[in-house]
Structure 1
Amino acid sequence: MESPQPPGTSRKAITKSGLQHLAPPPPAPGAPCSESEWQIRSTVDWSESATYGEHIWFETNVSGDFCYVGEQYCVARMLQKSVSRRKCAACKIVVHTPCIEQLEKINFRCKPSFRESGSRNVREPTFVRHHWVHRRRQDGKCRHCGKGFQQKFTFHSKEIVAISCSWCKQAYHSKVSCFMLQQIEEPCSLGVHAAVVIPPTWILRARRPQNTLKASKKKKRASFKRKSSKKGPEEGRWRPFIIRPTPSPLMKPLLVFVNPKSGGNQGAKIIQSFLWYLNPRQVFDLSQGGPREALEMYRKVHNLRILACGGDGTVGWILSTLDQLRLKPPPPVAILPLGTGNDLARTLNWGGGYTDEPVSKILSHVEEGNVVQLDRWDLHVEPNPEAGPEDRDEGATDRLPLDVFNNYFSLGFDAHVTLEFHESREANPEKFNSRFRNKMFYAGTAFSDFLMGSSKDLAKHIRVVCDGTDLTPKIQDLKPQCVVFLNIPRYCAGTMPWGHPGEHHDFEPQRHDDGYLEVIGFTMTSLAALQVGGHGERLTQCREVVLTTSKAIPVQVDGEPCKLAASRIRIALRNQATMVQKAKRRSTAPLHNDQQPVPEQLRIQVSRVSMHDYEALHYDKEQLKEASVPLGTVVVPGDSDLELCRAHIERLQQEPDGAAARSPTCQKLSPKWCFLDATTASRFYRIDRAQEHLNYVTEIAQDEIYILDPELLGASARPDLPTPTSPLPTSPCSPTPRSLQGDAVPPQGEELIEAAKRNDFCKLQELHRAGGDLMHRDERSRTLLHHAVSTGSKEVVRYLLDHAPPEILDAVEENGETCLHQAAALGQRTICHYIVEAGASLMKTDQQGDTPRQRAEKAQDTELAAYLENRQHYQMIQREDQETAV
């Protein structure tokens, strides 16, 4: 039977290009097909009854009246009421929750993540087919004609503008001249990340034999258990899915493990992005059972790599599981830092935390990263036989939380602070849902512990022997409040307790793969100096440590704390883990190839962006560039990385004659500014300061480099008008303003209104600079902003918002309408966004008692109404907070 018409596609397009075959092929004979397969799932089903082409649904706040099943099958349309919506993370279609079952009627399944095994599928192709999906919005350009896709700010548009593949992300215009019939059946390349994607053809679903009696099954099961106890961890167990890889020297198949609770629950959001870029069966939620099952299943995949998304504790969990499974060779592990400290991630160049770098770039970094070794250290603990009953503590334990560490083992002050944090989070987890709050709690706990002086007598209760040398006398002279046994250069959220390279001439350079530990003592003074670039007292470098404590002392192993009873602890090298270190992108820099040699010097303009503008305009590169503020020009060597460039930029405002110092509107750079990558993705994204040494200036910018300054005022709040003592700037539209031509009469208000009506931006700008009043009103009390909105002039609206007094935002005409009422009634979404972000009230009502949201609803623009309702709630909350503060 012929497949039904896909939603929103014209019959003409279907007839000529065969679009009725866009849906993936139906499940193979014998595959289960029942109502249960359309249940709402938000995780991948690894059970025997997994459905072929099953969607992975997440709740979404996308509103509007469109639904992928189309008007004919849309349940919400029939009910004529607003219902919740779901978005499939793997193919990005959006449907109303009650409409999920209707996808069966249009024969639309998600991209298949496995294939069936068995004799019935002998003729099944071993290549991957495209998974074509209709799109109402699409970025980029058509692969056939090279033209961009129609981009309207219309969330409720029913028009299909593109057809794209969920695997390779190729996109075509939804018309016969661009999307041809042959593209439907051709093999899919899996896109730019094909080297790390695990093809669905590698993953086979096995079937249990159905002709066995229950009694014989029980006997076989009992015999199976006896035999399996003698086999390795990967043998003797039936699994519904089998991995049969086709090795290729160019492939680096990737397993992604995400801890959804790390970094203030960042992991729960980022997992959806990986489901889109990869095969959903190579992405694993660690809260659903841990990494062991997946690693056992994929253990025979050649060139396997692992991406651990979480904190250092998540990485340690995966490395310990790899130890238990004894995979040969062990797959190298990359890190996407989502935790609080992320010291191991910083050491391996993955940065101190995830901000907004595109997942596509992260996958490229994992593929291109260098394989390095990481020392891992065993901790063997036994009770101290010399400790008496009076030294015992009821709250202490005889065991450490971990018996191996990758970063550090420490005791004293820092462990006590971590223990306090750990216990408080266990008691009230809802209070520790963000990285910022976690850091604030650490700071407060450290200060209170400092006042109490709980670790001041640490040296009296420990004995330290390193490689047979007793360091106890040296420690007692130092009187440290904290002792750290360090494996990597980073500690305590990015500090360098051993000191920076070149500062320790009496010792060998510190490395994470040399089989040596660094032993460091900290007094309260050196701990305080650590946060501003200081270091601790370097005691020794050694291969083995014997530590004896005579009373219960707080200790921590890679951030996992406990109060350990009097013990004897032996530290020795366990093994080396294989890791992926993020590489410097020299090979991809535009100026670092044979055709374009590196210039001796680069002269580059620096512009900075406010956080307000960055968040409001992140979807539009050009608008964000326009909203930036010039800071000055720097001259740097042609092969400069961002670390060197930072020093030149910070020097700009220190120069009394510099461009930044001369600018009347330029605020001083805040200490928290960071670089923005303006070239390598479809939008700007932040570069973590810990990764600046990995990026060249020429990689993130062309003629201009952009930086994000969180303390810079947004475009709507900047004092762009010249001061009375400053010369008026000339306009490119009007070289000689009339106010400079002697005692000219200020322009009449009618001229300003006429310029706004005609969308004549240059004329309006000229009149304003000649002394025109931007608050002028006509006979119906309409402002210039009312007229600009009525004509849909975005450029004039932006100019008025930037230069007119704030009162213009909520000024009403004779029928009580503000400019926002008018824009909402006309469905002008971008203009509504401009006005709302400038600070207009969403609670004002017109003479009919309608708010802007209600005007949008009357215009049947439910998407715009939902946006305005969301911002209205936000304004109400802000107002309540201000009233509470007063």
Structure 2
Amino acid sequence: MHLRKQVSYRKAITKSGLQHLAPPPPAPGALCGESERQIRSTVDWSESATYGEHIWFETNVSGDFCYVGEQYCVAKMLQKSVSRRKCAACKIVVHTPCIEQLEKINFRCKPSFRESGSRNVREPTFVRHHWVHRRRQDGKCRHCGKGFQQKFTFHSKEIVAISCSWCKQAYHSKVSCFMLQQIEEPCSLGVHAAVVIPPTWILRARRPQNTLKASKKKKRASFKRKSSKKGPEEGRWRPFIIRPTPSPLMKPLLVFVNPKSGGNQGAKIIQSFLWYLNPRQVFDLSQGGPKEALEMYRRVHNLRILACGGDGTVGWILSTLDQLRLKPPPPVAILPLGTGNDLARTLNWGGGYTDEPVSKILSHVEEGNVVQLDRWDLRAEPNPEAGPEERDEGATDRLPLDVFNNYFSLGFDAHVTLEFHESREANPEKFNSRFRNKMFYAGTAFSDFLMGSSKDLAKHIRVVCDGMDLTPKIQDLKPQCIVFLNIPRYCAGTMPWGHPGEHHDFEPQRHDDGYLEVIGFTMTSLAALQVGGHGERLTQCREVVLTTAKAIPVQVDGEPCKLAASRIRIALRNQATMVQKAKRRSAAPLHSDQQPVPEQLRIQVSSVSMHDYEALHYDKERLKEASVPLGTVVVPGDSDLELCRAHIERLQQEPDGAGAKSPTCQKLSPKWCFLDATTASRFYRIDRAQEHLNYVTEIAQDEIYILDPELRGASARPDLPTPTSPLPTSPCSPTPRSLQGDAAPPSGEELMEAARRNDFCKLQELHRAGGDLTYRDERSRTLLHHAVSTGSKEVVRYLLDHAPPEILDAVEENGETCLHQAAALGQRTICHYIVEAGASLMKTDQQGDTPRQRAEKALDTELAAYLENRQHYQMIQREDQETTV
């Protein structure tokens, strides 16, 4: 009977398409020219879009079997290595030549739209699951609650799980867990269903084909009459139309990603959004801007927008919303990928994206509070009173933007930004590193300070705020920079107006009160701004008339120009609707949802080094083991992380810590940050600008972890000897031979034999007796080569701590370093030790392989990813060092 069930189950799977569970077939003719269709990495919005088309990105994932299986795998037939691609929307991996074979196994991606001719568009529809076979699966089976047995071998053909790429539910691939009725049941769209735009809302329209000429003219005339009542773009035919089914609980989301922001962060994060959402609600701004998408989705009720980029990207989207005049305007949330991100900081989205899971970001957007943001008009016209002698050939009569959200400034800061902008335009290849950019900014600011180009600013301007002339006050102050500020943040997070409570003569600063803050800066106050100072508070006003008597550098939200003598009028334009990241509603209990929050928490603090964090991000338990205890703090039960930070810094100032168990005297650097250890499948960093939004009890259980980029890592652990610390006394270490008279030092062969036999005690004894740790055998192999081949972490650690640095990159006769060996053997911890000690990741063996490529050949994808990350980091460091020299 059991066998009969299994056969029936497999037949049903094959029949339904779960061999590979495919969505319903596309409309007739949709697959014409399938074999010639290009491999797409973006969503196709044209008439020829294919139903269930995959979105492919190149990948170095080599630890997963090609999804088409051995029967159809081209790479298997050719018996050679070929490139691989991964679908961002359903996460299958195939060889590039095998993509066309997916049609033979009838497997398509999750459908992102429906055909308007497939059924009555007024008929209520639902989304079906998109089931995918998985050879690797995290989490637990939804039916039995047990974990999935992972198959790590490269050629493992066994399917361990069946999961839905919409709702992410996963089941064991067997009859007892995955029932047949689940194949066709409706899909809930998962935990983010409130923000996902269902594919049933998006219809592919068929182009009307009119055969009668009179009918064409009649319809065209009717179409024009209707179009005249619509928006400027609404009457144009589009291949896709949106037919929403509103629900009060839904907050449909459009995601706009600027792939150029944040050092290519945008290009990487867009793939995560394609996985969690409908691909047709995620837009790459480099493919045409936000206007078309906003126009298409303008009828969607309760729409929200997520702008992934810098403050300039946010301004672009807000200006487009102004043009389209959407009623009501959708609120805009921010994922900060730029450099300054002052607006993102103001709205609690932080100063930059680190590694917070996209799933958490979607939850924050859904739960965020809707607030208003003042936007200000800028109108500039030539100053008729300026004489011809004040004209500057390089000046312009037009401002770069006619509206600002953050600030408008003139003087010293605008001059430095303009110098940088012009130099980058002339030589873009010299500005491909953040380090170089910062060095240029610093150098330009210093030279401008020496030249004093802005010291006479007050002599050439007149400022009238709400009818009151501030010019005499400005001339007394002699500022070198004046800022008209709309939000509290400026210049990458500084507070130029001062912190709340510091300005009793003025109203509290707000971004929605219809007032601008006017601030003057001398060189002294500009320098103090970076260490918590502020400028000279001049006034708060609703309207500004600024007159300049000569060409002066200005900048509008970071966009600079040299403006000719002008009269500039600043007035409130409108208010934009924004999403502000909200603090959690309550402090979750530390241990259980049923327990009340205690009055006080006594919690252990442990630090993690950046080396350990990057090496062990895939393994929470090992990362906890690699942490270094700092001590114990006692905080109120409802403490947020800002308050907890103060207690931790106080702990560092105490001689022994508050009940400290800290075995290391190493002090924390100013750059440390909190790690969330509980709310995701891995640790992730919490931006310092968001600490006031998180409770201690939300990110920790019994122990709170912090990341310190300047911590020494594994070498800081008390159980490991360091080069600068005396060796611990060991029961296996007798009195060194060097202390037993004039005995000859041990030979290199003795040391080599101890390393081969993994005899740590003997090796330590021989070294203390004067043994040479740089000895090589007849094949040029070092002691470190032999220690790696035996897998002895203890011996490797000892050699790294005591042998000269040149042993790290020493090569044996076949060109292999010890890191090549460790990577080929998949020794992750040893690789981490060797990389941390400073070994080169760019060296190649006789086959031209780097350590990363050796790890790839060994099919250890996680180790290869770590080595690739560190190799990239080394290249950046080397480039920055060369630049500094």
Q: Measure how far apart 1:667 and its partner are.
A: 1.9
Q: Which moved more, 1:353-362 or 1:204-213?
A: 204-213
- Aligned in 2, Cα 1:198/1:371: closer, same or farther, shift over 3 Å? same
Q: Measure how far apart 1:270 and its partner are.
A: 1.1
Q: Which moved more, 1:851-860 or 1:293-302?
A: 851-860
- Aligned in 2, Cα 1:454/1:686: closer, same or farther, shift over 3 Å? same
Q: Measure how far apart 1:304 and its partner are.
A: 0.7
- Aligned in 2, Cα 1:525/1:324: closer, same or farther, shift over 3 Å? same
Residues 631 and 662, structure 2, Cα contact 8 Å, conserved in 1: no
Q: Measure how far apart 1:656 and its partner are.
A: 2.5
Q: Measure how far apart 1:756 and its partner are.
A: 11
Query: Aligned with 2:623: secondary structure?
Result: helix
**Per-residue Cα deviation, 1:626-659 (whole angstroms, up to 9, x for no partner):** 1111112111222111111111211222222337
- Aligned in 2, Cα 1:621/1:863: closer, same or farther, shift over 3 Å? closer
Q: Which residue of 1 aligns with 2:51?
A: 52
Q: Measure how far apart 1:760 and its partner are.
A: 13
Is 1:510 aligned to 2:501, yes or no?
Answer: no
Distance in 1, Cα, partners of 2:262 & 2:531: 24
Query: Aligned with 2:811: secondary structure?
Result: coil
Q: Which moved more, 1:212-221 or 1:302-311?
A: 212-221
Residues 551 and 562, structure 2, Cα contact 8 Å, conserved in 1: yes
Residues 784 and 807, structure 2, Cα contact 8 Å, conserved in 1: yes
Residues 155 and 863, structure 1, Cα contact 8 Å, conserved in 2: no
Distance in 1, Cα, partners of 2:365 & 2:104: 40
Distance in 2, Cα, partners of 1:880 & 1:414: 28
- Aligned in 2, Cα 1:395/1:666: closer, same or farther, shift over 3 Å? same
- Aligned in 2, Cα 1:83/1:837: closer, same or farther, shift over 3 Å? farther
Q: Measure how far apart 1:276 and its partner are.
A: 0.9
Residues 352 and 493, structure 1, Cα contact 8 Å, conserved in 2: yes
Distance in 2, Cα, partners of 1:435 & 1:818: 32
- Aligned in 2, Cα 1:549/1:66: closer, same or farther, shift over 3 Å? same
Q: Measure how far apart 1:502 and its partner are.
A: 0.6
Q: Which moved more, 1:200-209 or 1:153-162?
A: 153-162
- Aligned in 2, Cα 1:867/1:485: closer, same or farther, shift over 3 Å? closer
**Per-residue Cα deviation, 1:379-418 (whole angstroms, up to 9, x for no partner):** 1222212112112222212121111111111111111112
Q: Measure how far apart 1:64 and its partner are.
A: 5.2
Residues 736 and 768, structure 2, Cα contact 8 Å, conserved in 1: yes
Residues 16 and 22, structure 2, Cα contact 8 Å, conserved in 1: no
Q: Which residue of 1 aligns with 2:18?
A: 19
Residues 604 and 635, structure 1, Cα contact 8 Å, conserved in 2: yes
Query: Aligned with 1:716: secondary structure?
Result: helix
Q: Measure how far apart 1:463 and its partner are.
A: 0.9
Q: Measure how far apart 1:665 and its partner are.
A: 3.6
Distance in 2, Cα, partners of 1:697 & 1:866: 32
TM-score normalised by structure 2 residue count: 0.86
Q: Which residue of 1 aligns with 2:388?
A: 389
Q: Which moved more, 1:112-121 or 1:326-335?
A: 112-121
Q: Measure how far apart 1:225 and its partner are.
A: 6.1
Query: Aligned with 1:547: secondary structure?
Result: strand
Is 1:857 aligned to 2:856, yes or no?
Answer: yes
Q: Which moved more, 1:806-815 or 1:413-422?
A: 806-815
Residues 586 and 592, structure 1, Cα contact 8 Å, conserved in 2: no
Q: Measure how far apart 1:118 and its partner are.
A: 2.6
Q: Measure how far apart 1:45 and its partner are.
A: 0.9
Q: Measure how far apart 1:210 and its partner are.
A: 3.2
Q: Measure how far apart 1:813 and its partner are.
A: 11
Q: Extract unaligned runs of 5+ from structure 1.
A: 1-10
- Aligned in 2, Cα 1:757/1:136: closer, same or farther, shift over 3 Å? farther
Residues 751 and 771, structure 2, Cα contact 8 Å, conserved in 1: yes
Q: Measure how far apart 1:571 and its partner are.
A: 1.2
Q: Which moved more, 1:795-804 or 1:606-615?
A: 795-804
Residues 463 and 547, structure 1, Cα contact 8 Å, conserved in 2: yes
Distance in 1, Cα, partners of 2:882 & 2:535: 48
Q: How does 1:718-729 map to 2 (within 5 A)?
A: 720-721=719-720
**Per-residue Cα deviation, 1:590-642 (whole angstroms, up to 9, x for no partner):** 35998332222211111111111111111111111111111121112221111
Q: Which moved more, 1:250-259 or 1:391-400?
A: 391-400
Q: Which residue of 1 aligns with 2:669?
A: 670
- Aligned in 2, Cα 1:862/1:576: closer, same or farther, shift over 3 Å? closer
Q: Which residue of 2 aligns with 1:284?
A: 283
Distance in 2, Cα, partners of 1:875 & 1:327: 48
Q: Measure how far apart 1:848 and its partner are.
A: 12
Residues 17 and 106, structure 2, Cα contact 8 Å, conserved in 1: no
**Per-residue Cα deviation, 1:248-267 (whole angstroms, up to 9, x for no partner):** 11111101111111222321
Q: Which residue of 2 aligns with 1:748?
A: 747
Q: How does 1:580-619 map to 2 (within 5 A)?
A: 580-587=579-586, 589-591=588-590, 595-619=594-618
Q: Measure how far apart 1:724 and its partner are.
A: 13
- Aligned in 2, Cα 1:819/1:672: closer, same or farther, shift over 3 Å? closer
Q: Measure how far apart 1:443 and its partner are.
A: 2.5
Query: Aligned with 2:586: secondary structure?
Result: helix
**Per-residue Cα deviation, 1:150-204 (whole angstroms, up to 9, x for no partner):** 3455455443322211111112222333222222111111111111111111111
Q: Measure how far apart 1:836 and its partner are.
A: 5.7
Distance in 2, Cα, partners of 1:885 & 1:554: 29
Distance in 2, Cα, partners of 1:875 & 1:124: 58
Q: Measure how far apart 1:444 and its partner are.
A: 2.5
Residues 730 and 737, structure 1, Cα contact 8 Å, conserved in 2: no
Q: Measure how far apart 1:145 and its partner are.
A: 2.0
Distance in 2, Cα, partners of 1:732 & 1:601: 44
Q: Measure how far apart 1:829 and its partner are.
A: 6.2
TM-score normalised by structure 1 residue count: 0.86
Q: Which moved more, 1:224-233 or 1:760-769?
A: 760-769
Residues 38 and 101, structure 1, Cα contact 8 Å, conserved in 2: no
Q: Measure how far apart 1:347 and its partner are.
A: 0.5
- Aligned in 2, Cα 1:630/1:153: closer, same or farther, shift over 3 Å? farther
Q: Measure how far apart 1:108 and its partner are.
A: 1.1
Query: Aligned with 2:742: secondary structure?
Result: coil
- Aligned in 2, Cα 1:559/1:116: closer, same or farther, shift over 3 Å? same
Distance in 2, Cα, partners of 1:300 & 1:847: 62
**Per-residue Cα deviation, 1:299-320 (whole angstroms, up to 9, x for no partner):** 1111111111111111111111
Q: Measure how far apart 1:23 and its partner are.
A: 2.2
Q: Measure how far apart 1:789 and its partner are.
A: 7.0
Aligned pairs, number: 876
Residues 396 and 552, structure 1, Cα contact 8 Å, conserved in 2: yes
- Aligned in 2, Cα 1:758/1:123: closer, same or farther, shift over 3 Å? farther
Q: Measure how far apart 1:575 and its partner are.
A: 1.3
- Aligned in 2, Cα 1:576/1:553: closer, same or farther, shift over 3 Å? same
Distance in 2, Cα, partners of 1:437 & 1:345: 25
**Per-residue Cα deviation, 1:83-142 (whole angstroms, up to 9, x for no partner):** 222211111112222221111111111111001113656798711111111222222222
Q: How does 1:391-790 map to 2 (within 5 A)?
A: 391-587=390-586, 589-591=588-590, 595-658=594-657, 665-716=664-715, 720-721=719-720
Q: How does 1:294-443 map to 2 (within 5 A)?
A: 294-443=293-442
- Aligned in 2, Cα 1:13/1:774: closer, same or farther, shift over 3 Å? farther
Identity %: 97
Residues 32 and 49, structure 1, Cα contact 8 Å, conserved in 2: no
Q: Which moved more, 1:403-412 or 1:32-41?
A: 32-41
Q: Which moved more, 1:133-142 or 1:830-839?
A: 830-839
- Aligned in 2, Cα 1:366/1:824: closer, same or farther, shift over 3 Å? closer
- Aligned in 2, Cα 1:684/1:802: closer, same or farther, shift over 3 Å? farther
- Aligned in 2, Cα 1:212/1:20: closer, same or farther, shift over 3 Å? same
Q: Measure how far apart 1:32 and its partner are.
A: 4.8
Q: Measure how far apart 1:367 and its partner are.
A: 0.6
Q: Which moved more, 1:790-799 or 1:315-324?
A: 790-799
Q: Which moved more, 1:839-848 or 1:821-830?
A: 839-848
Residues 340 and 439, structure 1, Cα contact 8 Å, conserved in 2: no
Q: Measure how far apart 1:584 and its partner are.
A: 0.8
Q: Measure how far apart 1:761 and its partner are.
A: 12
Q: Measure how far apart 1:341 and its partner are.
A: 1.0
- Aligned in 2, Cα 1:790/1:183: closer, same or farther, shift over 3 Å? farther
Distance in 1, Cα, partners of 2:723 & 2:35: 73
- Aligned in 2, Cα 1:630/1:523: closer, same or farther, shift over 3 Å? same
Distance in 2, Cα, partners of 1:539 & 1:746: 78
Distance in 2, Cα, partners of 1:439 & 1:170: 46
Query: Aligned with 1:587: secondary structure?
Result: coil
**Per-residue Cα deviation, 1:203-252 (whole angstroms, up to 9, x for no partner):** 11110123537998699669856874564235321111111111111111
Distance in 2, Cα, partners of 1:502 & 1:728: 54
Distance in 2, Cα, partners of 1:391 & 1:885: 40
Distance in 2, Cα, partners of 1:468 & 1:877: 53
Q: Which moved more, 1:439-448 or 1:707-716?
A: 439-448
